[in-house]
Structure formats: C-alpha cells, structure tokens
Structure 1
Amino acid sequence: MAITIKNAEELEGMRAACQAAASVLQYLEDHVQPGVTTGQLDDLAREYVLGPLGCTSATIGYTAGGSRPPFPGAICSSVNHVVCHGIPGNKKLKRGDIMNIDVTVIKDGWHGDTSKMFYVGEPTVLGRRLSETAHTAMVAGIEQVRPGATLGDIGHAIQQVAEAEGFSIVREYCGHGIGRVFHEDPQVLHYGKPGAGEVLKTGMTFTIEPMVNAGAPGTRELPDGWTVVTRDHSLSAQWEHTIAVTDSGYEVLTLRNGAV
C-alpha cells in the first residue's frame, strides 16, 4: 500500500479523529483503579466512543485483513508482561500493576490511534522506570520528525534511549501509516540506523509506538490470536501518538491536555 500524503483539509479530519481518541484515554483515567476489570474499562470506553463521541471503534471486529479472529474490544488492555493487543475481559487489576490502554476510533472516515501507560495505585520502582523510559524514547523519536529526516532517524533515537537504560526494544511490532485506512505504509520501526529508510515528507501521518521490555526483546503470541506477551515474562511498556509531518517539523495529533 502506498504512503498517503494528506492535504490541509484531510489533516483537519485527522486532527478531529485523533483528538477523539485522545479523549477516550482521558475519560478512562479515573477509572483505572485496583479491583476494576479490563472488561469493565472496555465497557466504559465502548459506551463513550459510540455514545457521547459519536465515533466508531476501529478495533471491535477488526480481523487484520482476515488473518486473525475478530477483536472483541474497543480497547487493547495490556497489563504487566503483556506487550500489546491484550483482550479485555475478567482480569482484575491490582495495586502495583502497570497497564497500557490502546484505542483507535473512526470519525468521519478518519482514524485516530493512541495509547498510554497507566499505574494501578503505586507502581514498582521497575514498573515506573520502564514506563518513563518508554515515554522518553517515544518523545525522542517524535523529535526526529521533519521533512528530509528518515524513518531510521526515528528508530535510532528510540533505540538509544531504551538501551541506555538496560531495556530492550520489541522488534516484531511497529508503528504504521494511518489515515482513512487503519494500517497503511510506512512501517515505523522503533530501532534502526540514522539516515536509513523512507524519507519523511510534509503531509505524511503515522504512529510512533515503541514497545520496551524490561528483559529480553523476545515475544510470543497467545492462542487467542491476539495477545502478545514477553517470552521471559518481564514487564513491558508502550506509549503511542499519531504524528503529522509539517513544513516546520511535526504535529502530535493525539495530544492529551496539551501534553505529549
């Protein structure tokens, strides 16, 4: 699939969809508490997306082009050693858990995709450090975005931050182009070499969403066809924003309360 370049009007559509997605994470913030289940959080997200937001969930029933069973949730709920694509259900959160919530909505045909880490009560020292490092790595990648830079510049910056803290980057999953299609080109790797890969151009929109493991980078997929966990059962953390390349650099389309 070719990379799509968005014009000013199309970027307005992307902004609206991305801000809608960001608002879901803000809405869920106060509900992430010890004792709540991931399924209850999904119910809240589903009602909010389909009700007040007036949007469609991009993940409910998503099959990745028919290669996977339909995803049942309006959110991906990835707790502790779950890397990504965690299916919400009857898992009850407990104090000290770290959790990624990933949400993608469709508004007027445009997709907005974002995720963030949540702490359930007070996290462990390792959980906090891992989450903060993953966030710092994402920001370092975002700061590379400008016309003429490359995807390799983004990946290299992310990798440097994570590995400097003794953590590892998941290799099997990456960021992606996004627009009227949920997943389109380019693939945005979270590791790489400066100057390598696709050259960035104004109007490109894509996600940057590094998955950082406390242990080794290896992962495995569970039999449900979606949930991905660390092979060594170590903690994993992820943050995600949708980014637009602008003439002067970048715009974070999924800002929450003005903060990256």
Structure 2
Amino acid sequence: MCGIAGRFLLDRPADADAVGAVLRMLDAQVHRGPNDWGILIPETAAQSAAVRSLLESRGLEHVRTYPAAAGAPSVVLGARRLSIIDLSSRGRMPMGAAGGRLWVSFNGEIYNFRELRDELRKRGSIFESDTDTETILHGYEEWGPDVVSHLRGMFGFVVFDARRPDAPRLFLARDRFGIKPMYWARRDCTLHFASEVRALMAGGAMPNEPEPRAFHGFLVHGSVPGPWTTVRDVFSLPAAHTLTIDERSYSYPR
C-alpha cells in the first residue's frame, strides 16, 4: 500500500502554496507509505526561497525536479512508499525517465511485471531498479495510455508526461476491479488528486460540504455510489477507467 498526492496547475506555475498543499496531503497518508516519500516539482519552483524553506527541513534528497516550459501547465506530484519490491532508494517515487520528462507515482502491485520488463528490455528500455513501478514507467514510455491493457494486477497510478514541454499532460488510471483507490477534484484551473479523500481535504481548496447523492445512496443501498464521495465535488475514479488531462481537455474513457 502506497499513497499518491498531487496538484496539476493548468494556468500557473507551481509555487510554495501548491508544494505546501501536497506536503500536507502526503502527511495525511503516512500510514499508507511509512518507509519513504518523494515529491516532484518544476526546476523553477526549486529555485524559490519559499519552496526551499518548506523542503529543506524534510530532506532535499526526497525532491525531484523536471524542466518546465514557461507558461505551460505545471505539476507537484508526491508519493508515500511502502517498500515491498526492491527495498532500496532506487524504488523511490515519483520515479522518472525520458530525461526527467516522464514521471510516475504508483500504488499497488503488478503481478506480471517481470514478463513486461523482459519485453520492454527487448524493445530498448533500460531499467535501473527491480520495482514494478519502473515497469509502468517504461511501459507508458513505449505504449502510452495503452499500457493499462498490458498490466495484470491491482493499481492506481499517475503519470506526468512532459515530453512535450509546452503541452504536458497528466494520466490517472485505476485497475479493472477498483481494488486500489484514486480520488480527484477540479477547482478552478487545478486538478487535485490523491489516494484518499482526507488527503485531498488536508491539501485545502476542497469544499467542506456533504454530497447529498452519496448519503442518499448509502442510506438506500448501504454504499456510496460512484463516482461520488461523501464530499461535494470530490470524485472517485471508477474501476477500469483512466483520466487524461491537459490544458485543453479532460478525457475520461473506460
């Protein structure tokens, strides 16, 4: 079990407010990943004194950066890790490839990752860890969003794809049976996402208001009907779905 948290800012560069929010979201999910943590921010944000003051006390070795284009959407992507496969720091997330322009945070387990790793190596991928996380990363690099059709397991993951620096995109995915959670919300021009609703609440900017449809469903059927949650405007990514976001559109295919 690991924890994912982040903000994708479509209209402005990441700043201390966004970094601080994601740190709070990670703090709310320590129980999901007590062994390690990491955070990805734009190189420009790393140069900010306010951002550095937030991160220095926590350990700069946990910070990853990516080259961001001026005026392009930006991301702050975090992860809490429960180390199971490859216990070394090589498994730290977010994990990057493609010269620091492709990143993944992952919660779950990929049962066929060894077979996929062998196939991807034949296609030219170079692996630097023994994790199933890296299989998703290079799988996305090779197949794009269709990587989900190659995966056998339980998963919720987020890929940040900045290989086109002026038009980066975010890709969220959840396994076929919805074993691993993924929640998201859009407020103004920012997408918020996490493995738990309370992590989204810890990041702020979420309305602390109940969702009537969720409570109606619980009272009538004994469960909250997706994609709603008990918090207004916070949604669960349905099982066997993905969500792709860029500055132009949201794509929500099954």
Tell me, yes or no, whether TM beats 0.5: no
Q: Which has the higher helix share?
A: 2
TM-score (norm 1): 0.33
TM-score (norm 2): 0.33
